[in-house]
Amino acid sequence: MTMQPTPDELFRLRQFVAAQEAMETSRFIQRLAARGPAVIRGENLLTATPKITRPEYDWDEFLACLTSLRRIISEKEPAFIHRVAAIVGRYAGDLRPSLVSFKQDIVAIRAGKAMPMVHRMQTPAGDARLNPAQLLDVFINGMVFHNDAEHETAAATIARQDPWSYLFVVTEGFIIPMSNASAWLAKMILLRGWVETPNRAHRQ
């Protein structure tokens, strides 16, 4: 008899698929997809601020996307991607080789190393360089969900900047890679029938 996920594991799988669906269909992600590849003109991402194409930007849309993303990357959430990947590997032996490289990719994304990008800015303490994961940490823990003292200086500096000077780095270096990785894992879950296919009728 084929083993199946436990009720608690199925709950986690459903939570993950729902969070991934919400992120993928968010208007922020949809606008990025409609924009096409970013255009970068003659700038080194490691040493200068890139010149990029700029889709329409709405803070509430970004916040909605960030809320779904947080459900996937937070260890405290039932949809935490590492835990969900472990569940999938437990019951889908054929996927285990793919899950090894998948987990390595997730670790790289969460460490801000998926793409060699940094956001440079001047703070009262001097020149600061934040990789995509560090930048996202400022958003989550210093601006949106919390107001931690350790992020106060960076959050105040970012708040005064042109949004796309930092959104480019965090979207291209973290949000999009994590969205793509999550989409693959959600597809594997759905193909095994553990979770019902989400209703995508609301997509635009």
How confident is residue 82, by pLDDT bands cut at 50, 70 and 90?
very high
pLDDT, average across residues 77-99: 96
How far apart CA 136 and CA 119 sit, in angstroms, is 11
pLDDT, average across residues 61-72: 92
How confident is residue 153, by pLDDT bands cut at 50, 70 and 90?
confident
| Helix, coil or strand: residue 51 | coil
Residue type, 81: I
How far apart CA 96 and CA 90 sit, in angstroms, is 8
CB 141 within 8 A of CB 151: yes
> Model-level pTM?
0.81
Residue 173: CB atoms within 10 A of its CB come to 25
Higher confidence at residue 67 or residue 163? 67
pLDDT, average across residues 87-107: 95
> What per-residue confidence (pLDDT) applies to 46?
52
Least confident of 66-75, 107-116, 163-172: 163-172
How far apart CA 201 and CA 198 sit, in angstroms, is 9
pLDDT, average across residues 170-192: 94
> What per-residue confidence (pLDDT) applies to 204?
36
> What per-residue confidence (pLDDT) applies to 77?
96
What is the average pLDDT value for the chain, to the nearest integer?
83
Query: Residue 78 above 50 pLDDT?
Result: yes
- DSSP 8-state code for residue 140: I
Residue type, 148: D
Instruction: Encode pLDDT of 102-137 as tens digits.
Output: 999 999 999 999 888 888 887 777 777 889 998 888
Structure tokens at 204: 């635009």
Q: At what angle do helices 176-191 and 27-35 cross, to 10 degrees?
A: 110
Structure tokens at 124: 């009262």
